[in-house]
Structures are given as structure tokens and as C-alpha cells.
């Protein structure tokens, strides 16, 4: 399979996937600072120019490797704002799980918070995820399930923050069942929106 460059030259999709996998592996082993384009090119059997044509800078390459394991996801629409926000939070958790399954996640996580990588991930991924959360809450407001006076951004950020904290800094939560994790999300959402159920 191939993908097109902005100038119409085809890219080898298999090579792209191998490069991004090699980047994730190197991030785990060496970190962002010591990530070597030369080593990646050698490992996957291509020239450095094949990498730089796809990603002109190291932060762009690293952001692409991180986002390659993530999905924007579908906009949940169950008719209930609590269920929709739980599903939205669950999508974040699934993205962490996919990246962790592939590499172990520590190197990716540290690289994600590099000051040159953050804006790329924010623009190409986090803004879209945040907009989805705002749409869920806007629908909840129209249905009378959420007050328009609440800080909707805070609700979305709190859910994302719980996922980040529980998947990275509090490893004992990883042994919990999916049902228990969803119950935690549900309890938090209900607290945040003032739902007494």
C-alpha cells in the first residue's frame, strides 16, 4: 500500500509503519533526546531522507509515532450525557492501553510531554478529542441533563486527567476490572455534572 506526499509522490505505507514502530521502540530505550534518525533509518532499511520527507523535524516524527497508536474515536450518542461522557473517557483509556501494549509507555509518555511535541499532538489530536467532549456536553445541555452554568472544559479535562493519572502514576488501578473502571468514570461524571443518580 502507498500514501501520497503533498507533491503526489507515493509513500510506502509499510515503511511508514515500520519507521513509527522503530521510533516508539527507541523512545522506550533511549528517550526523546537520544532518539537517532540514523539508527531508525538503519534499523528499518531506508535512507534518512525517506524519514525527513515524511516528518521534517524530530518532534513531528515523535508526535506521529505517538499518535499512530491512538484513535480519535466516534462521537458517542446514547441519549444520556453520563453514558456518553463515560464512553468518551473510555476512548482515552483505550488509547493509553494501545500505546502501552506496544512499548510499555514510559518513553512515549515522557516524549509526549516534550515542549516541542505537545503543540503538535494538541493541534492534530487533543483539540479534536476536546471538541468531541464539548459536543457531548452541549447535547446534554439541550436535553436538560447538564447545566449551562457548569465549566464544561473543566469536566472534560478532569476526565482526561483521571485517565492520565490512573494509567501512569497509580499503577495499582491497572488490576481493576473494566466494569470497575467504568463505574469510577460514571461516579466522577455524575459528581461533575451534579447528577444525583
For residues 125 and 89, give the distance between their C-alpha atoms in angstroms, rounded to a whole number. 15
Q: Structure pTM?
A: 0.85
- In this predicted model, what pLDDT tens digit does every residue of 101-123 receive, in sequence order? 655 557 778 888 899 999 999 99
The highest-level CATH class for domain 81-193 is: mainly alpha
- In this predicted model, what pLDDT tens digit does every residue of 136-181 receive, in sequence order? 999 999 999 999 999 999 999 999 999 888 877 776 666 688 999 9
Sign of CA dihedral 98, 104, 110, 116: negative
**Where are the chain's structural domains?**
2-61, 81-193
For residues 133 and 140, give the distance between their C-alpha atoms in angstroms, rounded to a whole number. 11
Query: H or E segment at 64?
Result: helix 58-67
CATH superfamily membership of 2-61: Homeodomain-like (1.10.10.60)
Amino acid at each position: 500500500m502507498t500514501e501520497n506526499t503533498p507533491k503526489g509522490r507515493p509513500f510506502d505505507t509499510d515503511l511508514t509503519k515500520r519507521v513509527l514502530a522503530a521510533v516508539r521502540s527507541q523512545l522506550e530505550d533511549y528517550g526523546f533526546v537520544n532518539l537517532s534518525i540514523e539508527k531508525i533509518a538503519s534499523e528499518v532499511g531506508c535512507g534518512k531522507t525517506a524519514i525527513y520527507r515524511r516528518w521534517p523535524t524530530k518532534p513531528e516524527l515523535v508526535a506521529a509515532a505517538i499518535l499512530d497508536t491512538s484513535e480519535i474515536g466516534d462521537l458517542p450518542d446514547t441519549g444520556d450525557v453520563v453514558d456518553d461522557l463515560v464512553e468518551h473517557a473510555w476512548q482515552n483509556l483505550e488509547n493509553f492501553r494501545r500505546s502501552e501494549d506496544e512499548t510499555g509507555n514510559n518513553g512515549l509518555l515522557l516524549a509526549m510531554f516534550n515542549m516541542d511535541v505537545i503543540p503538535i499532538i494538541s493541534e492534530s489530536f487533543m483539540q479534536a478529542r476536546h471538541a468531541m467532549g464539548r459536543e457531548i456536553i452541549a447535547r446534554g445541555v439541550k436535553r436538560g441533563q447538564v447545566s449551562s452554568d457548569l465549566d464544561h472544559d473543566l469536566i472534560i479535562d478532569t476526565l482526561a486527567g483521571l485517565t492520565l493519572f490512573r494509567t501512569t502514576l497509580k499503577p495499582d488501578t491497572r488490576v481493576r476490572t473494566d466494569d470497575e473502571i467504568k463505574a469510577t468514570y460514571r461516579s466522577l461524571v455524575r459528581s461533575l455534572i451534579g447528577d444525583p443518580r
